[in-house]
Structure 1
């Protein structure tokens, strides 16, 4: 476009030299402006009055500009012809047949040689132009003419509402720490990630959190000191030196019992929990007695003694936890619970109990008590023998348990003055005098024998006493047949039950010195079991013959019974070492 300003002024361009024509140029484009005076021209308009304009056709080259003034305006006549005037040139490279970018690339003379240059086709006629790519500036026609622009030094041209970092050909813009932008920080300001209210809330939250952490640390240290105190109070310094017992930590015990998730039952001092060791061994975990400085030695001695009692019919103590107020003891697991539930539990717990199984339970339970009384390194009185403290493993093997009320007596001390035990099983002599002896356990075991053969608890049918009714039956009829479990009807079984009943009556005698000891009780039961097995094996001995060889109303002596058994079984007259544990 050519724009002419002035009054009575004509301006024109001439382009493309003419070869052999009448005019020096081929193209002439121009216009003339008119006006009466300078005041007749209007700002913002170019419609001929003081101003005219005309489009210049594209593709013209070798243009020159000329003007004429018809009223000889002094300003135009006298102006310096070498002065600068605004000119916008649109030019292109038009060598070699005015090629486009696609045609010129790779050809000799291609002008865009800078590494960061690019070729642009001309929009005003043929040819092409070269320019630096975005992020670079300089001379695109020189090999290293286009150089990187540091946008961070030109914030007015390259805005950044955060932290600006120049890169080769561009720049990065990131929000300051603690600020954020949902869009582009080059275009939009960054805002704080947390408003003031949120910052205050966060500060309060962090402060409270640090306070809680500090309190938890203090509580944890107090708990650690408390557990160390419990460990000392419960005799840890002594028990941790015992080789055959494991000292469990409080955390280990929680893991073993899964935080006390499964309760097996109620013990004498609290609940009994089921647990599992790392080797998948099932265990029972129960509370012991509460220990103080006065009882610490008694407790440690009791644990040591229990850990040394190795017998198939005594529940094995595997370890203990001393980091708690009341020590926890870890025992082997008895899958079938206790004899109390098996004999007298509800229908879900009751199982058939043939005579042979009952005799096995009686014999092996007696063997466990006999071992405690005479075979252990120290004399031990259980003090609370009852079906609830006779556990049964998965094969119904009995295990004497619950030594929380056991009394450990030294050789020179034959009794204790602590009256403990369960009513219905406690020895009347012990209850009256406080004197606990071996025969006290014998008395309690006699009650267990009655429960085995009658399957009745000590108090049955609301207000009937098993001991009183059974003793009356023997006093009146010299037989306990009316009291026996109704599951037994065969005479041979009744005969065995009668003998066990008579043995129980011996255990329950009021005078302590007239009761047998546990060794004699175990031997009598073994003989009865042998006699039953001999008859089951078609040996020629009848209940009548067995009765004739015993004193009326009194069980056979060991010598007589062994002699009878020997004549039938051709066995030695006396078992080796009088050990009946495997009979």
Structure 2
């Protein structure tokens, strides 16, 4: 149990009252006359001032800037005003020690929150840390970070309730299980973590909490720590910080908390011509951008001194110190500047860091003429070169603009601008040609991942180390441009773990480019139809999971996307697998957005042989049920291990969907299934999924299930009993099941396996209209 959080008592003081500075300054122009300028090792410049217990006069611009000098220490120590500022912990508070005061910041001594444990996980020490600057002209600087040390900690920091007026909580977690894993000098989450706080914060309280009470790492880490401090002042020393009994004291002594300080609470313009404007002559007023406003004064260039004290900043006489005289010749001091000149008989700029001064007669007229002519020709060549490269650059810019228009840039812009509902991801990156050339080693042949109907896919490595797939389209005509832009617009609207993610595009090259996440484990088509049979990992459970993930992604496209999307080219070659064998649907070049008030659209028939919906082929009416049919063919591939189109006897092309439906009529379902599916799936599962495939392949799209229904049915199949039916005696088909399945068909209609990210096979590829119609019969009653 943690102890209750502390209650803070502090005094609210009256609003800032103006105190006019004295008319004269001390000789060093640091403090008001008669006021001490140092407390121990700390210099206290005006508008700050040391409080004198023996005098009623103020040495500061306002009581908030009072500094108390405690002479009981040796050397004396400076503290912020005792009744205005305080460190706080569990029910206690103490004064804030000042370490340094500069023109912008004041650095104060730190405090550290800690929590220590015994070997059994009991808390033996628990301290919080916090600071109160409320209602003052001080805020916590952005130079600070919240730092947490330990191997079993999470730290939380928040404003002090009832004072700050803000409501937030921030923090970080640091975990490590082995002391050898803890890096030295790194504060990114293993042994050490850091985080920033909001700007303008005036109070905070920080505590350290545990995840497992240090029971697992007690042997090398018994305590956790958290503190706010200047980030550049702290370096994590690794495991030695865990065992250092003086760690907290070391942080307190070496890592200060940085505070921003300002005058007042409004801008320079608000205070000008009022008694509260303290910037003197030769100084500039700078508004403070953080916190609650305010301003600071600083000396102009060439001046020095205290800008808050009369007569203001004084001119720096650059010529006074002979050791630092900037001139090689005669130095003349000017207000805020200086001038160098050469004596009679010499020429040059007179600067030590410049040309200096040289005798006028040191160069002959011939040498001067030669130098003049040489510099003249050099200037001409430089000018001509600049003009040439400028012209070439303009040509490149115009060429890129031409490619941008040619590749559909204006069409894409119109699509994005017309997307008023915000469904398009506006953060999609627009890559330059140079970035993608560098990522692909200038589109090297050894970076090719695959080729397809619409282009070539390259492996790319971005500057941040991310591996991507870059699709380089072929030279396209106007009809292909619309298809390409369609794929960009569709992919920017999709956010699903089982849909390949579009990272960006490039339109300024000769051919358009798309940048995807790289899915490097190949396609489902490759995994099923590889030479020698399906991959060893492709068990019945994995096949079901792949089917469920693919169906879920299509259901998302049909019903959960901002606008319904019909993929129009669902096939196993467009289902990718990542390193964890997670399914990714790809290739949206043929996809279509469906208006919310329509159930179908009329399009040119496009798809891949073997997967194409016969009803869509005959009517040109595209609906979401067209994807259901194609997905049914993918399910058949998973179940049978056969390709959608198989060549029998070297001549006859057999459609797998038709073959499946004929086998069902003849009660020969199990004879066409993959032997491994038969061995691992239960009879109930195989019958259920066979029935589902039959419904998906219905010639009438109206009678097919929706993708949502397909997902639910597949989930139900996965939950069914998993007793392999082939072990049951007396099955009516068991006698010749294995024998029939082992015969398998290894013919492949496609010469090369399809590749991820690439396009579909065109309908006209190697087939006449009559041949295709023979594979896709008309919708007749069955």
* Aligned-residue offset at 1:350: 4.2
Quote the residue 1:457 is aligned against.
643
Measured on the aligned residues, the alpha-carbon RMSD in Å equals 4.1
Distance 1:351 1:238 in 2: 48
Measured in 2, the distance between the counterparts of 1:308 and 1:497 equals 36
Structure with bigger RCO (C-alpha 8 Å, 6+ apart)? 2
Aligned to 2:430: 247
Q: Return the offset for 1:228.
A: 1.7
Partner of 1:234: 409
Deviates more, 1:266-275 or 1:502-511: 266-275
Name the structure 2 match of 1:332. Answer: 517
TM-score by length of 1: 0.52
In 2, the alpha carbon distance for the partners of 1:238 and 1:258 equals 33
1:288/1:404 contact within 8 Å kept: no
| Counterparts of 1:286 and 1:320, CA distance in 2 | 9
Q: CA deviation at 1:487?
A: 2.4
Corresponding residue to 1:354 among 531, 539, 544? 539
**Residue 365 of structure 1 is aligned with which of 515, 536, 550?**
550
- Superposition pairs for residues 158-557 of structure 1, below 5 Å? 221-232=394-405, 233-235=408-410, 237=413, 243-261=426-444, 262-287=447-472, 302-347=487-532, 350-413=535-598, 414-461=600-647, 462=650, 463=652, 465=654, 466-476=656-666, 478-490=667-679, 492-532=681-721
- Deviation of 1:445 after TM superposition, in Å, equals 0.4
Q: Tell me the distance in 2 between the aligned counterparts of 1:245 and 1:352.
A: 35
2:440/2:458 contact within 8 Å kept: yes
Q: Tell me the residue number matched to 1:581.
A: none
The number of equivalent residue pairs is 343
Query: SS of 1:487's equivalent?
Result: helix
Partner of 1:490, secondary structure, is helix
Contact preservation (8 Å) 2:456, 2:471: yes
Evaluate the alpha carbon distance shift between residue 296 and residue 267 of structure 1 in structure 2; reply closer, same or farther with a 3 A threshold: closer
| Cα 1:408/1:287, change in 2 over 3 Å | farther
The 2-side partners of 1:342 and 1:293 are apart by 36
What is the match of residue 164 of structure 1? Answer: none
In structure 2, the partner of 1:16 is none
Give per-residue Cα distances to partners, 1:14-62, cap 9 Å, x unaligned: xxxxxxxxxxxxxxxxxxxxxxxxxxxxxxxxxxxxxxxxxxxxxxxxx
Q: How far does the alpha carbon of each residue in 1:206-226 deviate from its partner, in whole angstroms, 9 at most, with x for none? A: x9xx99999887555333212
Residues 240, 247 of structure 1: 8 Å contact kept = no
In structure 1, the gaps of 5 or more residues are 1-175, 177-206, 537-543, 545-583
Shift of 1:352: 3.8
Other structure's SS at 1:509 match: coil
SS in 1 for 2:675: coil
1: CA distance, partners of 2:573 / 2:671: 25
Shift of the 492–399 alpha-carbon distance from structure 1 to 2, 3 Å rule, reads closer
- Secondary structure of the 2:589 match is coil
Q: Give the deviation of 1:418 after TM superposition.
A: 2.2
Secondary structure in 1 aligned to 2:559? helix
Extract unaligned runs of 5+ from structure 2: 1-366, 368-380, 418-424, 725-730, 732-782
Change (3 A) 1:327 1:416: farther
Q: Secondary structure at the match of 1:243?
A: coil
- Show the 5 A alignment for 1:125-136: none
Which string of whole-angstrom CA distances, capped at 9 and with x for unpartnered residues, describes residues 530-580 of structure 1? 2256x69xxxxxxx9xxxxxxxxxxxxxxxxxxxxxxxxxxxxxxxxxxxx
